[in-house]
Amino acid sequence: MSLPVIAVFAGGTSAEREVSTGSGAACSAALARSFTTRLFDVTAEALPDGFDPRRHAVFSTLHGTFGEDGGMQRLLDAAGGAYAGCDAESSRLTMDKDLTKRTVSAAGVLTIEGVTFDAGDKPSAAELQVAVGASAVVKPNSEGSSVGLKLADGPGELEAALRGIERGRWIVERRIVGRELSVGILRGSAMGIVEVRPKSGVYDYQSKYTKGLTEYLAPAPIGEALTSAVTVAAETAFGACGCRDYARVDFILSRDGEPFFLEINTLPGMKETSLLPMSARCAGLDFAALVREMVSPAVERFRSGLASRRP
């Protein structure tokens, strides 16, 4: 049975369009070593012109809203398209930070206490300080992992952060100062653990995407016991949220040595220097081998669907 053309979706309509464009270019070039590929620039919340579910299997690098929240996945499902990565329901769930936390907490994974609210019904800074403490993290509930993130130390900074919230749903969590860890998951199994050390002390959008502002240690020097605990927590969170194929799970390791879950990224950054490829290299997979493994379930789904349509 012939192989599909791999349709790499990139760009998108979210705040992370530029990052997605870079991920798409890198993945398209790597996949071209093993497959015929076509790179699609997605510019609207719709399937791109020229996409054909009878010829294409999709490898999406669309980050943020529409790409990562189940929107594109629902369109692909309706069109009968085969695609790699999490399905529409798990994508929707994991884009909602509050719902994800409640789901993984119920599965026994340690999470950070927080308060979720709509912009039109904001709690006061005093109320939030009672709930989460004097030092807090303020972030949108349904955006990329570092988009819109703010730190607030004390009532004045928390009040200022609240004044800047005009729309959407937000989450405020107790700030835990510790070591940031990231774990790539491939077909349900954790790969290497990467430690993220931003020079500013905060892994925000600028630290993530500006060269030289962050140091990465892969594998993270955390010892066997903690490595095992973080691995189990990552795989548990992945399974609890119904994820499939691959994802990246992030944690913060407190000064007491407790790994607190932060979030799941179902379509994380995918340049060669991104966190998921770093995690994969710890497991012996170079970038080309990683993206080949990531797309292979979509190829299998495409072939299965093609076989079922034949008389």
Q: Catalytic annotation on 60?
A: no
Q: Is residue 280 domain-resident?
A: no
- Could you tell me if 184 and 98 lie in one domain? yes
Reported as a single tens digit per residue, the pLDDT across 184-230 is: 999 999 999 999 997 766 655 565 555 667 899 999 999 999 999 99
Q: Catalytic annotation on 209?
A: yes
DSSP of 29-56, one letter per residue?
A: HHHTTTS-EEEEEE-SSSPPTT--TTTE
Separation between Cα atoms, residue 49 and residue 242, nearest integer Å = 30
Q: What are phi and psi of 217, to 5 degrees?
A: -115, 120
Reported as a single tens digit per residue, the pLDDT across 254-290 is: 999 999 999 999 999 999 989 999 999 999 999 999 9
Whole-angstrom CA distances from 300 to 248, 272, 275, 284, 306 are: 22, 25, 26, 23, 10
CATH code (residue 33): 3.40.50.20
* Residue 20 belongs to domain spanning: 5-85+287-309
- Could you tell me if 98 and 231 lie in one domain? yes
Does residue 311 surpass a pLDDT of 50?
no
Q: Is residue 120 domain-resident?
A: yes
Q: Catalytic annotation on 223?
A: no
Report which of 95, 92, 97, 18 is spatially closest to residue 61, judged by C-alpha positions: 18
- Could you tell me if 79 and 105 lie in one domain? no
CATH code (residue 127): 3.30.1490.20
Q: What does the pLDDT read at residue 122?
A: 93
Question: Which H or E run includes 296?
Answer: helix 287-309
Report which of 299, 289, 275 is spatially closest to residue 23, judged by C-alpha positions: 275
Dig out the tokens for 171 from the structure.
């989450």
- Could you tell me if 260 and 190 lie in one domain? yes
Asked if residue 278 lies in contact with residue 271, where contact means CB atoms within 8 angstroms, the answer is no
Number of domains in the chain: 3
Q: Catalytic annotation on 83?
A: no
- Could you tell me if 18 and 167 lie in one domain? no
Report which of 133, 125, 123 is spatially closest to residue 174, judged by C-alpha positions: 133
- Could you tell me if 97 and 165 lie in one domain? no
Q: Catalytic annotation on 16?
A: yes
Of these residues, 90, 91, 263, 301, which one is catalytic?
Answer: 263
- Could you tell me if 78 and 127 lie in one domain? no
**What is the CB neighbour count within 10 angstroms for residue 282?**
17
Q: Catalytic annotation on 173?
A: no
Question: Which H or E run includes 1?
Answer: none
CATH code (residue 183): 3.30.470.20
Of these residues, 11, 12, 14, 16, which one is catalytic?
Answer: 16
Of these residues, 20, 60, 145, 279, which one is catalytic?
Answer: 145
- Could you tell me if 101 and 226 lie in one domain? yes
Residue 301 neighbours by CB under 8 Å, 6+ apart: 57, 82, 83
Reported as a single tens digit per residue, the pLDDT across 98-136 is: 999 999 999 999 999 999 999 999 999 999 999 999 899
Of these residues, 248, 281, 292, 301, which one is catalytic?
Answer: 248
- Backbone dihedral region for residue 105 (phi beyond 0: left; psi -120 to 50: alpha; all else: beta): alpha
Q: Catalytic annotation on 141?
A: no
Does residue 27 surpass a pLDDT of 50?
yes
Average pLDDT over residues 284-300: 97
Separation between Cα atoms, residue 222 and residue 225, nearest integer Å = 8
Q: Catalytic annotation on 203?
A: no
DSSP of 108-170, one letter per residue?
A: T--B--EEEEEGGGPPPHHHHHHHH-SEEEEEETTS-TTTT-EEEEHHHHHHHHHHT--SSEE
Separation between Cα atoms, residue 32 and residue 12, nearest integer Å = 21
